[in-house]
Amino acid sequence: LASCVAASAFQIGQSSVQRSAIVLDPKWNGGDYYDAAPNEGPHFGLGLAREQATLTYQSEELIDTKQGRREKDVMDRGFSPWQRFAVEGFLDYQAEKLIRRFDANSYLVINKAMDLHDVGRGRGGLQRALARITAPVLTLSISTDGLYPTRQQQFLHDEIVSNGGSSRHEIIHSKAGHDGFLTEHQAVGAALKPFLGEIETKLTNS
Confidence of residue 75 (pLDDT cuts 50, 70, 90): low
- 146, 60 Cβ separation under 8 angstroms: yes
Which of 35-39, 140-144, 198-202 has the largest mean confidence? 140-144
Q: In this prediction, what percent of the chain has a pLDDT beyond 90? A: 89
Q: Is the pLDDT of residue 101 over 70?
A: yes
Q: pLDDT (tens digit, 9 = 90+) per residue, 24-33?
A: 999 999 999 9
pLDDT at position 99, please?
Answer: 96
Q: What is the pLDDT of residue 78?
A: 59
**Per-residue pLDDT for 80 more than 80?**
no
Q: What is the pLDDT of the chain when averaged over all its residues?
A: 95
Non-local CB neighbours of 83 within 8 Å, separated by 6+ positions: 71, 72, 73, 74, 75
pLDDT class of 84 with cuts at 50, 70, 90: confident
Q: What's the pTM value of the predicted model, to 2 decimals?
A: 0.89
pLDDT value, residue 79? 63
Domain positions in the chain are: 9-115, 126-205
Gap between the Cα atoms of 131 and 133, Å rounded: 6
User: Quick check: 172 and 184 in contact, CB under 8 A?
Assistant: yes
CATH fold, domain 9-115, is Rna Polymerase Sigma Factor; Chain: A (1.10.1740)
* HSE, side-chain direction, 13 A CA sphere, residue 66: 14
Average pLDDT of span 83-99 = 94
Sign for the CA dihedral angle at 150, 151, 155, 161 comes to positive
List of residues 6+ apart from 174 with CB closer than 8 A: 142, 143, 144, 180, 183, 184, 187
Q: What pLDDT does 128 receive?
A: 97
